[in-house]
Amino acid sequence: METTHSIFQPQAINHIQPEIWRKVTRLFIRKIIAELAHEGILHPELQSEKNGWGNYLLRSGKHDVIYRFSARVLRLNHWCVNPDSIEKIAGGDTAAPEAISFITDLNDQIGIAPEALPDYMEEVAGTLYGSAYIHTHNTLSAEYLATADYQEIERSMTGHPRFITNNGRVGFDMTDYRQYAPEAAVPLSLIWIAGHKSHAEFTAIEGLHWEQFIRQELSTSDYDAFRSVLTGKGLDPDQYFFMPVHPWQWYNKLLNVFAPDIAGNRLVCLGYSEDKYLPQQSIRTFFNSSNPARCYVKTALGILNMGYVRILSPYFMRTTPAINEWVYDIAEKDPYLQENGFRVLRELAAVGYTNQYYEAALQGDSPYKKMLASLWRESPVSRLRPGQRIMTMAALLHTDTNGYALLPALIRTSGLSASAWIQQYLHCYLRPLLHCFYQYQLVFMPHGENIVLVLENHVPVNAIMKDIGEEVTLMDTAVTLPALAQRIQVDVPASFRTKPMFTQLFDGIFRFIAAILVEENVLGEQEFWQLVGACVREYQEQHPALAHRFTQDDLFAEVIAPDALNKMQILNSRKLRDRANPFDVPSIGEVQNPITAYRNK
């Protein structure tokens, strides 16, 4: 498992070639323009317009620099920018556009603080590095991916559609990238350590006990070998909890920060797992490729990626299984959710280890208090029936390296019309989320990476929600929750209540789907939004008892103001949201709601 940098150095730069770099740079600048114009951070000046396409200008604060490009603007202020049209004019001469200089040229408008700019520039460089890798090595076509297996699709994804710096991974060196990035898809063994019960805490769903659980997650040989490591040191294995850690975290963080605990045998390194794992899109979550029915493993990882240092709180781990159990119980017992195939992947168990020195020294929140924790999440593989396969919903927004989107290929492969396919997708994705919102006042973060779609004949039939413990909010403050689940209960002002739906669904998923369908001439934009509106209206017609909530939390409101994710990252690149007030964040400004016209039949 251990390698030297000299072994990997040539491979680490093979994909950084001029032609590839020029291509990914244009695609990246297209995304910068599109998302920052969408959020009202950049204000392109329209110069001329023909057949729905406009020629636009961006003026730098440096008076001799301008950028020109062509684009068309769809609903929700979604900018479809032609990457080949992007030009930089400096001092009257055409210059090759570069991503980092684009940001610095226009930072008088973007507004990244001087002290934060170097970090942001490093994330930009890291994201470009990853994009070049994908365009060199992960070139599977959209047509191929439409019938591919789960992990082939997972490794091909290109990151969050809205965040500009979505794969920066500040902290990884290039050797780490080739070992641990999901697009590299290198099966790896996790390091397992033993944490003494005086500092470690195991929590699990009701009825799941430590010994039973760890025996089902470890091979017999690993279980016996790990216990032997402890007995060989004269330690009692029954006084320890075993926990997996990311190899990078062990070598780069834990060996230093937890050295006193290691010296005192409160932490003991047990060795590598026999099972091999594949990193998922979320970078710190692993799929067990040796035994796919075993749990996913999620670990702490102290790198900066997409607005967060990817640590994992031992405090959250204490309550995560209880939260998952409460949400799972709702999903399993609600007839409408069951009818529409909505499932929850439970985070069954977790271990957190607290560092006594940092706990004593630091009164407030700190990443140093969240360096060592792990959780186990159910695998969706065991949920499948014969003839079914699974696909991350992020795939619906994926475009291959030749510029073709996976969604149209999937629709073609299914044999259904585009409208019939989208209607079925909305039934298994949107309907359950509407029900959770209106019936229970529950909201999730159901973005592409957090939803697993179950497909039959290439058509979605179920949606499986994951990442529950950290990303679910209950807005109903009258509900009595179990004590361990109470942290998800938030008193949300009335004006913010629909924001998660408009941000995560309309702005985070649907506007991209609409654009893909339009760009490949698969389905008209108006027809797509009409299908979304019809799905909301039909749900409301089926649940007249909730009419007061439909009025209170109106998804047909004339204007909406989704969250501005890049603006949040620009303001604070290391903490996007305050958990105590998660909805009080910058918005993109008011835009017309694309389903307002479809309130009535």
| Residues listed for the chain | 601
Q: Which of 123-137, 192-206, 319-333, 534-548 has the lowest mean pLDDT?
A: 123-137
Q: What is the pLDDT of residues 322-338, one digit of tens each?
A: 999 999 999 999 999 99
- Contact predicate 97/87, CB 8 Å: yes
Angle at 424 between CA 388 and CA 138, to 5 degrees: 55
Contact indicator for 128, 370 with CB cutoff of 8 Å:
no
Name residues whose C-beta falls within 8 Å of residue 318's C-beta, 6 or more positions apart in sequence.
201, 203, 350, 352, 484
For residues 164 and 33, what is the distance between their CA atoms, to the nearest angstrom? 10
pTM of the model: 0.94
Per-residue pLDDT reduced to its tens digit, 22-71: 999 999 999 999 999 999 999 999 999 999 999 999 999 877 899 999 99
pLDDT-based confidence at residue 315 (cuts at 50, 70, 90): confident
pLDDT band at residue 479 under the 50/70/90 scheme: very high
- Helix axes 511-519 and 406-414, enclosed angle (nearest 10): 70
- Residue 5 — very low, low, confident or very high, per pLDDT cuts 50/70/90? very low
- What integer pLDDT is reported at residue 14 of this predicted model? 78
pLDDT of 11 > 80? The answer is no
In degrees, to the nearest 5, what angle opens at C-alpha 329 toward C-alphas 325 and 333? 170
pLDDT at 583: 66
**Which pLDDT score is estimated for 3?**
46
Q: What is the pLDDT of residue 71?
A: 98
Q: Flag whether pLDDT at 4 surpasses 70.
A: no
How many Cβ atoms are within 10 Å of 552's Cβ, its own excluded? 12
On average, the pLDDT of the chain sits at 93
The answer, yes or no, to whether residue 158 has pLDDT greater than 90, is no
Q: What pLDDT does residue 367 have? A: 80
Distances (CA, A) of 34 to 43, 117, 329, 449, 575: 10, 20, 41, 21, 23
CB 306 within 8 A of CB 170: no
Q: What mean pLDDT is predicted for residues 448-462?
A: 96
Query: Lowest-pLDDT range, 3-17, 187-201, 484-498?
Result: 3-17
Task: Note whether 193 and 226 are within 8 A (CB).
Answer: no
Both tokens of 409, joined, read 């290929």
Tell me which DSSP letter residue 403 carries: S
| Lowest mean pLDDT across 6-20, 300-314, 404-418 | 6-20
Grade residue 7 by pLDDT with cuts at 50, 70 and 90: very low
Q: What is the mean pLDDT of residues 153-157?
A: 94
pLDDT of residue 167: 85
Mean of the pLDDT values across residues 6-32? 83
Q: How confident is the model at residue 166 (pLDDT cuts 50, 70, 90)?
A: confident
Give residue 226's pLDDT band: very low, low, confident or very high (50, 70, 90).
Answer: very high
Range with the lowest mean pLDDT among 4-18, 42-56, 241-255? Answer: 4-18
Report the CATH number of the 388-598 domain. 1.10.510.40
168 contact partners, CB below 8 Å, separation of at least 6: 122, 123, 124, 125, 126, 127, 304, 305, 306
2 band by pLDDT with thresholds 50, 70 and 90: very low
Segments making up each domain of the chain, as ranges: 9-132, 187-377, 388-598
> pLDDT over 70 for what percent of the chain?
96
Return the SS3 of 503: helix
On the question of pLDDT at 282 being above 80, the answer is yes
Contacts 24+ apart (CB under 8 A), 500-503: 500/437, 500/443, 500/444, 500/445, 500/473, 500/583, 501/433, 501/437, 501/443, 501/555, 502/555, 502/560, 502/561, 502/562, 502/593, 503/562, 503/563
Q: What is the pLDDT of residue 15?
A: 82
* pLDDT at residue 45, as a whole number: 98
CATH number of 9-132, picked from 3.90.45.10, 3.30.310.280, 3.40.50.970, 3.40.109.10: 3.30.310.280
